[in-house]
């Protein structure tokens, strides 16, 4: 995430310059989950932006002006996101790298549009963010990541191809991201000829999923597709395995984080997930990766990063791929 945020800040530097021509310094902001269950990702956003700003300022800034970085916390909460957006707009920022969660980016985008502030999210994948902005004629909202309809197409086809005649449970966390990716996956799966056995919703922040696991066991579910974040996904996997329920667990890019594995432990073994190409493998990022990654870990993947031998072929960079465990391609 920090590499992607750094790229976002660098890409936007010249674009935002015109809007701050009279300012002594150019204030920009990173807004994301500095607190809450996604705080580890917010920390990555913060670190990536700090690196980018330091690099830009060391080279003279933008059009001779230095960047001032402001950090704001939305905790991935829609109401707090709007409050954070208003706060940074009040500080005259010309660019915002954020937010992380789609449920935060979507409501905050209206604040930025009204203020004429450029917004670029490194992680919000719900298509509504940019689709709705385009319908309203807004020209300030962008994303530097894939969309749920792209990931959903891959996951839905995979489910239909590999679990024909099996019992599939679609589970989501009611958030713009979680429900969005789950619905896109289900739509693609249905189109490919496979119907879900269950469609269930959980509440983000819940800790006990034993009732859901029992319900899936009774329905003889063979595979679970989960639309949501790493905390709830990890707890569902762990509690399912604790009950002896061994259904295949499949999720999306929010699970591609060490926090998921810290929760699941060995129970997460065999998890499948879709995700875009690793930004650390982009040629232009080599220098940054070399500066920020310990030598011992540059070329040797961790056990949780090692691709399955059957899935070593390099995927197309134009689409999401599905991979076993926490694979880095």
What CATH number does residue 130 fall under? 3.40.50.2300
Same domain membership, residue 117 and residue 164 = no
Same domain membership, residue 69 and residue 185 = no
| pLDDT for residue 254 | 95
The answer to whether position 50 is within a domain reads yes
The answer to whether position 136 is within a domain reads yes
The answer to whether position 240 is within a domain reads yes
The answer to whether position 269 is within a domain reads yes
**Nearest-angstrom CA–CA distance, 120 and 114:** 15
Same domain membership, residue 199 and residue 104 = no
Same domain membership, residue 195 and residue 153 = yes
Yes or no: say if 141 and 12 are a contact pair by the CB < 8 Å rule. Answer: no
The answer to whether position 58 is within a domain reads yes
Q: Please tell me whether residue 282 adopts helix, strand or coil conformation.
A: coil
Total structural domains within the chain:
2
* Structural domain ending residue among the three candidates 119, 143, 167: 143
Residues contacting residue 302 through CB under 8 Å, at least 6 positions apart: none
Kindly state the helix (H) or strand (E) to which residue 249 belongs, with its residue range: strand 248-251
* Structural domain ending residue among the three candidates 94, 124, 143: 143
| pLDDT for residue 279 | 82
Same domain membership, residue 118 and residue 55 = yes
The answer to whether position 268 is within a domain reads yes
Same domain membership, residue 166 and residue 55 = no
| pLDDT for residue 323 | 53
Among 311, 306, 312, residue whose Cα is nearest residue 325? 306
**Nearest-angstrom CA–CA distance, 163 and 195:** 10
Yes or no: say if 289 and 280 are a contact pair by the CB < 8 Å rule. Answer: yes
Yes or no: say if 203 and 173 are a contact pair by the CB < 8 Å rule. Answer: yes
* Structural domain ending residue among the three candidates 90, 124, 143: 143
Query: Could you tell me the residue range of the domain that residue 303 belongs to?
Result: 148-324
**Residue ranges of the chain whose pLDDT lies below 70:** 1-23, 295-329
**Nearest-angstrom CA–CA distance, 223 and 176:** 23
Same domain membership, residue 16 and residue 75 = yes
Same domain membership, residue 110 and residue 127 = yes
From residue 61, alpha-carbon distances to 22, 57, 72, 82, 111 in Å are 15, 4, 22, 29, 27
Residues contacting residue 132 through CB under 8 Å, at least 6 positions apart: 106
Same domain membership, residue 255 and residue 165 = yes
Among 58, 85, 53, residue whose Cα is nearest residue 68? 53
| pLDDT for residue 307 | 34
The pair of three-digit structure tokens given for residue 96, joined into one six-digit string: 């915002």
- Paired sense of beta strands 321-324 and 272-275, if any: antiparallel
Same domain membership, residue 298 and residue 157 = yes
**Nearest-angstrom CA–CA distance, 214 and 211:** 5
Same domain membership, residue 108 and residue 23 = yes
The answer to whether position 329 is within a domain reads no
Same domain membership, residue 201 and residue 100 = no
């Amino acid at each position: 995430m920090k590499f992607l945020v750094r790229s976002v800040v660098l890409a936007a530097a010249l674009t935002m310059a015109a809007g701050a021509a009279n300012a002594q310094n150019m204030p920009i902001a990173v807004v994301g989950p500095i607190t809450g269950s996604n705080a580890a990702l917010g920390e990555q956003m913060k670190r990536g932006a700090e690196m980018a700003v330091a690099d830009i300022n060391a080279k003279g800034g933008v059009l001779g002006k230095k960047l001032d970085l402001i950090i704001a916390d939305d905790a991935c909460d829609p109401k707090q996101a709007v409050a954070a957006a208003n706060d940074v707009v009040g500080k005259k920022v010309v660019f915002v790298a954020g937010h992380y969660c789609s449920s935060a980016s979507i409501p905050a985008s209206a604040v930025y549009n009204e203020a004429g502030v450029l917004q670029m999210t490194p992680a919000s994948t719900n298509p509504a963010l940019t689709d709705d902005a385009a319908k309203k004629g807004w020209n300030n909202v962008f994303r530097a990541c894939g969309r749920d309809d792209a990931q959903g197409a891959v996951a839905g086809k995979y489910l239909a191809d590999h679990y024909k005649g099996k019992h599939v449970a679609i589970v989501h966390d009611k958030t713009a991201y979680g429900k969005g990716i789950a619905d896109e996956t289900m739509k693609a799966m249905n189109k490919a000829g496979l119907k879900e056995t269950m469609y269930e919703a959980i509440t983000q922040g819940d800790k006990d999923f034993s009732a859901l696991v029992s319900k899936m066991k009774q329905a003889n579910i063979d595979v679970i597709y989960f639309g949501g974040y790493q905390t709830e996904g990890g707890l569902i996997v762990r509690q399912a395995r604790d009950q002896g329920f061994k259904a295949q667990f499949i999720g999306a890019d929010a699970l591609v984080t060490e926090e998921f594995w810290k929760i699941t432990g060995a129970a997460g073994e065999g998890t499948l997930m879709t995700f875009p190409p690793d930004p650390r493998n982009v040629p232009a990022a080599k220098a940054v990766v070399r500066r920020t990654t310990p030598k011992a870990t540059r070329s040797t993947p961790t056990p949780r990063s090692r691709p399955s031998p059957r899935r070593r072929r390099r995927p197309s960079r134009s689409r999401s791929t599905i991979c076993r465990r926490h694979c880095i391609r």
